[in-house]
Structure 1
């Protein structure tokens, strides 16, 4: 059983995320506020558990109604659609997260709707329940006015395709379950197709960089404990093993993003304890 190596005080960690990371994001996003008729689109990447969702909530409170924030996680394909993908392409697509498991067309339609919204217009925003691993009832947003900024956050925002990846040796035990490379090939095709079209919609990117993939695994263990309402470090052996397997689906692209194979943008380095170099203390 792998133990969580992070500080077991979640309140302190949350405070760090909400202050240092949010304080680093806020001036970058303020500079993106549009004075024109169409809101700007800013995409934020960051590995699982880095704190991007928590920090973004704090930033949105500071920006007020001029800014709207979305998460790509709410645009996962329904469980039944991922099951079909798993049956037709590769069984590993039953697990959400990799390119190909998002409804990118719905996401682009939603972003366009937000950019062109008129006062009083109602826009349906999808929601995804990670507990149920399926879509939940959407949120209906009534627009008081057209926003100045729309922010989309997600772990893989701006990732570049690599057509040679399906031919590479497996990085981990999950990729070893894809000896033909079909799972990886479909992901690369999606990155070079629908996801590239999504990235083209962005006016700018902000990348939150973790120290490395090993840190991401520790963060994800802590995140799972929080989701289940448990104290950090108290996951059962079965729960820990599930997270360890789950995160391996993300390793190749996480390391690709951290190596700079992505759309250009501003970069914020985040330490293992989620503090930000240069932040005021």
Structure 2
């Protein structure tokens, strides 16, 4: 009989010694989730991490590890809640041109995420949307999940993010903001949405896990690796990016990434340091 963990390691294209990462980091996290009070179930577990930190991989392992305890977990990526391409184009026309690019708060269907959580808490079947990055649009069909769900793993680069102080918005952080948002309208809107819709979504979290890298330079390198894999796996894709387009894309994420790296480690329930090889190196549980 095959071992699900060994099979998953192979399916993810990971080296055999990755089982050590599972045993040292992911198993204890699964144990912590399993030990949360039953009175709080079903649970919503937030997995925060910049691009390339391994959020999706972690969630796949948590699903297997929790299943060993007869706990059913399913994953919803914040990416899968992106507005459709047509909706973002309309936002860009009506509100601000930078909202055409997926990623920042304001480009997700937050209400859909709240509806999914409401369905889970009520024991109803779940319709999980899926986003196709190779087409930069939401997939036509959702994934239907029937039967009770014990844990929803909500993963995303800005899951659990808090808004910045208004004064911090005054100065641009990069060329994109200086040239395309000189009056701060776009970043002000992003901050406003974090205070409103996204705050309501993140209030649903029972536990917040942060996969933390050292700085934004690491994020840019990791995102480049993701794009390379996307091009390799989808040779006919219409929405992959060259180096210049990717650099501009990452500029949309820079402000909020710096903010989260600065303030989130002090309040996240679990902080897992991610090394330059994209593997975890240490765990902290802030007081």
Length-normalised TM-score, structure 2 = 0.82
More helix by share: 2
Q: Distance in 1 between matches of 2:133 and 2:185?
A: 26
Of stretches 96-105 and 107-116 in structure 1, the one that deviates more from structure 2 is: 107-116
1:155 and 2:161 aligned: no
**Corresponding position of 2:278:** 274
TM-superposed CA distance for 1:140, in Å, is 3.7
Q: Following superposition of structure 1 onto structure 2, how do residues 114-263 of structure 1 map, counting pairs within 5 Å?
A: 114-118=120-124, 122-144=125-147, 146-164=148-166, 167-176=169-178, 177-229=180-232, 239-261=242-264
TM-superposed CA distance for 1:93, in Å, is 0.5
**Corresponding position of 1:88:** 94
**How has the CA–CA distance of structure 1 residues 245 and 37 changed in structure 2, closer, same or farther, with 3 Å as cutoff?**
closer
**Corresponding position of 1:77:** 83
Q: Distance in 1 between matches of 2:126 and 2:220?
A: 36
**Corresponding position of 2:31:** 30
Contact 1:17 1:275 in 2 (8 A): no
Q: Give ranges in structure 2 of 5+ residues lacking alignment.
A: 1-10, 234-240
Q: Distance in 2 between matches of 1:22 and 1:226?
A: 27
Length-normalised TM-score, structure 1 = 0.84
The RMSD of aligned alpha carbons is 2.5
**How has the CA–CA distance of structure 1 residues 59 and 207 changed in structure 2, closer, same or farther, with 3 Å as cutoff?**
same
1:265 and 2:286 aligned: no
**Corresponding position of 1:4:** none
TM-superposed CA distance for 1:207, in Å, is 0.5
Aligned length in residues = 258
Contact 2:74 2:149 in 1 (8 A): yes
TM-superposed CA distance for 1:150, in Å, is 1.2
TM-superposed CA distance for 1:25, in Å, is 3.3
Q: Distance in 1 between matches of 2:204 and 2:46?
A: 9
Q: Distance in 2 between matches of 1:76 and 1:56?
A: 19
Q: Distance in 2 between matches of 1:52 and 1:159?
A: 16
Using CA pairs below 8 Å that are at least 6 residues apart, which structure has the higher relative contact order?
A: 1
TM-superposed CA distance for 1:158, in Å, is 1.1
